């Protein structure tokens, strides 16, 4: 599949008349993440965007493109697989980490540490105030999780956004009633599943079993949540979840921002930013 995807993109590049001269950049094709990638370029003065497009900007909202950049929209998980066929690639951090890339040490451009795209714990509407949700929130809001993130990602590739971390427990929750409960939470592998493993230990001390169901894309975790196959998920940022609801009629509620992962631009055929005038 990866080889086929790379071949299709390579053919597209070959068949596009201006591609031999234009700068080529691969970016995620899903709503909010494509806009986020384009904003990274706009904030660095490489392109200009229609200010009304906001987080849902697409390449059609580019109002100034002095370098004649050719944008190739690729499913987010597959952007790392086409890097060899383009000059640059803008990659979501979880997929970058899975591919052995790091925004702090291997990228050419990255978002600032105050990125508004916090990755969230989400549940189905109606479950926002249950004891089980409160227990999950408390575990992911813990000092243990904050310390794990800081120690595991000292380079800033993952940054906790929890203010005033606690001890992992909520004094209003009836943990005795939850003893023996099993909760399934969907997540992408790195860093979400790793962070959930810390929460898993916190909950286990109260007799709550946390099962982590791993996904490798950005659609199935929300469908599984909507269908009731999992109780919660933790993989996406707030704008993505809000847009997913709007486009699909789903009922996903975001209950906690846990961390941010700076999106970054990496070199494919290029090793520096000279083609971008930097």
CATH 3.10.105.10 fits 118-260, yes or no: yes
Q: What is the per-residue pLDDT across 106-136, written as a single tens digit (0 to 9) for each?
A: 999 999 867 789 999 999 999 999 999 999 9
Q: Where are the domain boundaries for CATH 3.40.190.10 in the chain?
A: 2-112+263-276
Q: What is the CATH number of domain 2-112+263-276?
A: 3.40.190.10
Task: Say what the pTM is.
Answer: 0.83
Q: Where are the domain boundaries for CATH 3.10.105.10 in the chain?
A: 118-260
Is the pLDDT assigned to residue 143 strictly greater than 60?
yes
Q: Which of 222, 192, 190, 237 lies closest to 33, judged by CA?
A: 237
Phi and psi angles of residue 215, each rounded to the nearest 5 degrees, phi first = -125, 155
Question: Taking each helix axis from N to C terminus, what angle separates 238-248 and 220-227, rounded to the nearest 10 degrees?
Answer: 60
Q: What is the per-residue pLDDT across 145-172, written as a single tens digit (0 to 9) for each?
A: 999 999 999 988 999 999 999 999 999 9
Question: Taking each helix axis from N to C terminus, what angle separates 131-140 and 194-204, rounded to the nearest 10 degrees?
Answer: 120
Cβ(71)–Cβ(59) under 8 Å?
yes
Q: What is the per-residue pLDDT across 213-260, written as a single tens digit (0 to 9) for each?
A: 999 999 999 999 999 999 999 999 999 999 999 999 999 999 999 999
d(CA 133, CA 153): 26
Which pLDDT does position 31 carry in this prediction? 87
């Amino acid at each position: 599949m990866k080889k086929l995807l790379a071949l299709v993109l390579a053919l597209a590049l070959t068949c596009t008349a201006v591609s031999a001269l234009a700068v080529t950049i691969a970016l995620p094709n899903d709503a909010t993440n494509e806009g986020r990638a384009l904003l990274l370029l706009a904030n660095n003065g490489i392109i200009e965007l229609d200010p009304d497009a906001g987080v849902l900007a697409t390449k059609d909202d580019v109002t100034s493109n002095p370098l004649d950049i050719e944008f190739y929209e690729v499913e987010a998980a597959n952007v790392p697989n086409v890097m060899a066929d383009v000059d640059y690639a803008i990659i979501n951090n979880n997929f970058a980490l899975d591919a052995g890339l790091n925004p702090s040490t291997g990228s050419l451009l990255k978002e600032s540490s105050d990125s508004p795209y916090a990755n969230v714990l989400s549940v189905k509407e109606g479950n926002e105030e249950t004891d089980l949700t409160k227990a999950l929130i408390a575990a992911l809001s813990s000092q243990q999780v904050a310390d794990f993130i800081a120690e595991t990602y000292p380079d800033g590739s993952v940054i906790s956004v929890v203010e005033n971390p606690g001890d992992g427990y909520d004094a209003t929750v009836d943990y005795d009633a939850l003893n023996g409960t099993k909760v399934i939470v969907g997540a992408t592998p790195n860093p979400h599943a790793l962070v959930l493993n810390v929460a898993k230990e916190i909950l286990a001390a109260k007799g709550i079993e946390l099962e982590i169901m791993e996904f490798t894309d950005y659609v199935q975790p929300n469908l599984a949540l909507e269908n009731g196959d999992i109780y919660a998920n933790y993989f996406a940022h707030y704008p993505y979840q809000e847009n997913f609801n709007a486009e699909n009629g789903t009922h996903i509620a975001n209950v906690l921002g846990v961390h941010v992962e700076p999106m970054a631009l990496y070199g494919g055929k290029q090793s520096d930013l000279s083609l971008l005038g930097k």
